[in-house]
Structure 1
């Protein structure tokens, strides 16, 4: 079940805590938002959607809208034991839909070219490669910047 996290939610602190644990486990320390997760969520222009499986956060997507025209997927993560079940795709689709309701024209994200499952998912949902950024994550890890444009009807 996909849930949108609201600051007023009774389980807000628990969800943030579980998300931070997952963040620390899945991302290298220098890429992790674990220390600033709560601060990021306090911003009025950011959102978090997560998959609740039996009361546990098993996947999440964090996004922000930088202006009225563009948004960014800042994190997408799925617990290793819950991968290949469609959680990432469902979350990404939900985040895209949230952005559509804000009349956003472009969503962008960064991805390590070596993360083949992530690359395949983004391409499947229509994201295109914009540019290659040498040393984006670290001196020996680069990224593709990808984007999804859509017309607002």
Structure 2
């Protein structure tokens, strides 16, 4: 397990620009151009219902998760990414747990996300944390790439 720690990106933080720049780099490396938020990252994060948690190892941003809570009932995880050389070290899982916890604190009833069925590691991680496949959406990412919509429901207490 890496000794990374999770930070919530605050709008007014002094390292906002640096962190966003780091994340944009990861974004460009991992996601195909049309799926990358690199261009619109700042706008995405300025929406008041979206949040970003990132994980730092030795001062380097190695992964991040973006959530948005458009309503009090439903949240969605819009991005979860970890730099390739930091994968399989528990960072993705740590980020996912932190995002789930953040949504739970907001008392949302459901978290949903979309995942490429071919990304087995991601699928396994989400299922491990209770996400269930809702439906297959054909051509979600591009004409030849589908997505599973998955969700996690919280018990209302």
Q: Would you call these one fold, judging by a TM-score over 0.5? A: yes
What corresponds to 2:25 in structure 1? 21
Aligned to 2:54: 50
* Alignment of 1:110 onto 2:103: no
Structure 1 moving runs of 4+ over 3 Å:
none
- Counterparts of 1:92-111 in structure 2, within 5 Å, are 92-111=96-115
Q: Which residue number corresponds to residue 136 of structure 1? A: 140
For 1:17 and 1:86, locate their aligned partners in 2 and report how far apart those are by CA, in whole Å. Answer: 23
Give the TM-score taking structure 2 as reference length.
0.96
1:62-106 Cα offsets, whole Å, 9 max, x none, are 000020000000000000000000000000000000001111000
Q: Which runs of 5+ in 2 are unaligned?
A: none
CA RMSD of aligned residues (A): 0.6
Aligned length: 153
Corresponding residue for 2:124?
120
- Deviation of the 1:152 alpha carbon: 3.6
